[in-house]
């Protein structure tokens, strides 16, 4: 029994290692193609290559938040903790992805637009999106009881998800300066550029999946520890005089 579990764990670690290696390779190939394979853009020059990281990280972040939204609904409907784990994992992976988006954007904008930041629809709504999900993660740290935390943050996650299109729409009416979407909206993009862009997107999606899986397993373990701790708190001091396990990091 123990050896079977051990073998399974070894196999899991093996798959995990392979997946990590695969994603690392994919990222390397994507990075190489973005820097050397894709043609240099005619007016912006080399700085335009940041687009191959900027756009895929943005798309992948939206995928992550959409997963988080679906899982929040899934949690409220089913009450299975795994939905909550996936919801928080994807939000927590989505936030650094949007951070990459918000950092690479100004790096590109400074030489091209001459300014680091402008209060345009896409920029502002991405910023609000980032703030919303940072608040979601903050909210989770402020509720100790696992089930309460799951329910409350699921409701907040759903509100945040419905807010995002409204934010975008209202600021779009307000003012816009960002370049229009290059795929699917009638924009013209060199086929080689498009291929590299899609390759980069595949790489960031791979990264997303990898981080999501790790974070999900961490959340599952954390949940287990929390349940054990709550149980031991309820039971009080044990027969051998063991003190209740306290949690210094989360007092108050």
Q: Which of 1, 2, 5, 138 binds another protein (CB under 8 A)?
A: 138
Choose, by CB under 8 A, the member of 32, 116, 174, 242 that binds another protein.
Answer: 174
Q: Interface with another protein includes 252 (CB under 8 A)?
A: yes
Residue with tokens 């399974």: 8
Q: Binding segment for another protein among 39-47, 105-113, 138-146, 200-208 (CB under 8 A)?
A: 138-146
Residues 58-77 that bind another protein (CB under 8 A): 76
Among 64, 160, 193, 208, contact with another protein (rule: CB under 8 A): 160
CA distance 15 to 214: 12
Among 10, 13, 78, 170, binds another protein (CB under 8 A): 170
List the structure tokens of 178. Answer: 């960002």
In the complex, minimum distance from the CB of residue 158 to another protein, in angstroms, rounded to a whole number:
6
Q: What is the Cα–Cα distance from 115 to 99, expressed in whole angstroms? A: 19
How far, in Å, CA of 105 to CA of 96, rounded? 14
Q: Rounded distance, CA 210 to CA 188, Å? A: 32
What are the helix (H) ranges across 79-180?
81-113, 121-141, 146-174
Distance CA 164, CA 162 (A): 6
Residue 41 has φ and ψ, to the nearest 5°, of -70, 145
Contact pick of 158, 196, 203, 208 for another protein (by CB under 8 A): 158
Per CB under 8 A, residues contacting another protein are 76, 128, 131-132, 135, 138-139, 142-144, 148, 151-152, 154-156, 158-160, 162-163, 166-167, 169-171, 173-174, 252
């Amino acid at each position: 029994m123990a050896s079977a579990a051990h073998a399974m764990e070894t196999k899991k670690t093996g798959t995990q290692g392979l997946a990590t290696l695969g994603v690392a390779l994919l990222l390397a190939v994507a990075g190489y193609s973005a820097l050397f394979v894709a043609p240099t853009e005619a007016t912006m020059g080399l700085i335009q290559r940041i687009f191959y990281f900027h756009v895929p990280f943005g798309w992948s972040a939206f995928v992550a938040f959409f997963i988080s939204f679906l899982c929040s609904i899934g949690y409220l409907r089913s009450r299975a903790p795994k939905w909550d784990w996936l919801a928080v994992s994807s939000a927590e992976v989505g936030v650094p992805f949007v951070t990459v988006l918000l950092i690479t954007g100004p790096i590109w904008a400074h030489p091209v637009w001459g300014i680091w930041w402008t209060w345009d629809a896409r920029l502002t709504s991405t910023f609000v999106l980032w703030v919303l999900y940072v608040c979601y993660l903050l909210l989770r740290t402020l509720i100790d009881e696992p089930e309460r935390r799951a329910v409350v943050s699921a409701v907040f996650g759903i509100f945040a998800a419905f807010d995002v299109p409204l934010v975008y729409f209202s600021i779009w009416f307000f003012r816009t300066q960002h370049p229009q979407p290059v795929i699917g909206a009638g924009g013209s993009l060199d086929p080689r550029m498009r291929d590299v862009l899609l390759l980069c997107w595949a790489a960031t999606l791979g990264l997303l999946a990898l981080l999501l899986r790790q974070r999900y397993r961490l959340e599952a373990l954390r949940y287990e520890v929390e349940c054990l701790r709550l149980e031991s708190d309820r039971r009080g001091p044990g027969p051998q005089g063991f003190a209740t396990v306290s949690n210094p990091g989360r007092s108050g």
